[in-house]
Amino acid sequence: MDDIFEALASAARRRILLYLAEDDLTAGAIAARFDMSKPAISKHLRLLESAGLVGSRKRGQYVHYWLVRSALVEALEDFVGRVVAPSPATASPPARVEPPVEAAPANALFAEQLRRAREAYAADMAQRFG
């Protein structure tokens, strides 16, 4: 999956994918749509192909490229599923555990420190688990 997101990180490669979503194209036809060298386009195409997002086949003297839609869809669905679906570790907040409390604090300073610790703990739990 990292290869796919690395490939998608480049605006030029995303544009190539958009062009290939419309039709199969040769490397020359793709290069004609960009203001960059053919070797640079070839490098982008190799990276897209190694990520599994683009397929290629040589027909005569030209290499034709096409979009492998299923690879893109599967990677995005997998990623979104991992982000959106709760994992067992985050499905529900842990039961509230109070810090240990002595029956009768020794003095007012200790009581104030204990109150602050409880507030900080409550704020931390609220921030983590809403």
* pLDDT number for residue 126: 72
Query: Is 72's pLDDT higher than 50?
Result: yes
Residues 100 and 42 placed together within one structural domain of the fold: no
Residues 67 and 32 placed together within one structural domain of the fold: yes
Q: How confident is the model at residue 1 (pLDDT cuts 50, 70, 90)?
A: confident
Total number of domains in the chain: 2
Handedness of CA 23, 27, 32, 36 (dihedral sign): positive
Residues 59 and 105 placed together within one structural domain of the fold: no
Among 47, 9, 13, which residue's Cα sits nearest to residue 30? 13
Beta strands in the chain (DSSP E): 25-26, 54-59, 62-67
Could you give the CA distance from residue 121 to residue 110 in angstroms, rounded to a whole number?
Answer: 16
Contacts of 97 (CB under 8 A, 6+ apart): none
pLDDT digits (tens, 9 = 90+) for 79-110: 888 887 766 655 555 556 555 555 444 556 65
Collapsing DSSP to helix, strand or coil, 30 comes out as: helix
Residues 58 and 25 placed together within one structural domain of the fold: yes
